[in-house]
Amino acid sequence: MFNFWNGNKSGKRQHYELELIHSLLNWDPNEPIVVHSDNTDFPRAEDEGNIFRKNYDVLVTVAGNRKFADKPAIKLNSPICKGLLGHRILIIREQDQPTFHNINSNKLKSLIAGIPATWADAELFRANGYRVLEQGTLLEILKLLSDKKCDYVSLGANEVKSIYQEHTYSLDGLVIEKSIVLYYPLPLVFYVHPDKTQLAQLLDDKLQDYKLTGQFELFFNQHFGDVVRSIGLEHRKAINLVNKKLPPELRSFKSQFIS
């Protein structure tokens, strides 16, 4: 049995990442492997960075996550979500839609991005010259958006609709912005406990097999095909940000949804 830490993320990501790791590890029906998923949230960055001291074997995070800098881990460099998380769709106040319609980067930088505490995006936004309010949980930052303490909250295209439906029902006047998408390279990868070399090798090998045989494409489309089509990335004006925290092995990474 392996312990998979699956907290500090949206329900949409939790479901996808658990299904993927289960599929990769259970490729042989004659040798089933039990994967125990733990969705416990660790809101303190220090606790998340020390996750492998808590009896967990594997997790998924953004490549180059500074919480794990200088922490022992086996970091696999094969992205598992095609870069979709790096396409950021905004949640805004409905009354502000005219302000955001085809907005440019300079104007957007004058507004305040609301980002939950410890999210890797906060440092990235600041490094690109954006104003940031980094505070609280996701639900709390959406409440601050509703209360006009910040101007927008950016979420991955793979999760924005599910998060919007789950968290904004009690908040009046919030909508998903219709015309723009922020983009920065943000690949999701596996981090494995430093002592679990066989697990790391198995995950890496099976993920490569999945990609070569087309199984990964089918798996991804089952989970996110409808999401990609409905969000209309190709029809949105793109505003690009730079991610300087990518590890050297992934510096050239680009989302598969960039034409």
Fold match flag (2-83+186-231 vs 84-183): yes
- The pLDDT assigned to 242 comes to 97
The one-letter code for the residue type at 42 is F
Give the tens place of pLDDT for each residue, 190-232. Answer: 999 999 999 999 999 999 999 999 999 999 999 999 999 999 9
**Average pLDDT over every residue of 60-88:** 95
The mean predicted confidence, pLDDT, of the chain is 95
Beta bridge partners of 88: 156, 182
Q: Are 126 and 134 in contact (CB under 8 A)?
A: no
Would you say residue 259 has pLDDT above 80?
A: no
CATH 3.40.190.10 fits 2-83+186-231, yes or no: yes
Compute the distance between CA of residue 4 and CA of residue 10 in angstroms, rounded to an integer.
15
Compute the distance between CA of residue 208 and CA of residue 24 in angstroms, rounded to an integer.
10
Give the tens place of pLDDT for each residue, 144-182. Answer: 999 999 999 999 999 999 999 998 988 889 999 999 999
Query: Coil, helix or strand for 183?
Result: strand
Q: Within 13 Å, how many C-alpha atoms sit on residue 131's CB side?
A: 11
Quickly state the pLDDT bin for 119 (edges 50, 70, 90). confident
For residue 255, what are the CA distances in angstroms to 2, 79, 139, 157?
Answer: 30, 10, 28, 12
**Average pLDDT over every residue of 12-23:** 96
- The pLDDT assigned to 172 comes to 86
pTM over 0.75: yes
Q: Within 13 Å, how many C-alpha atoms sit on residue 125's CB side?
A: 26
CATH 3.40.190.10 fits 84-183, yes or no: yes
The ranges assigned to domains in the chain are 2-83+186-231, 84-183
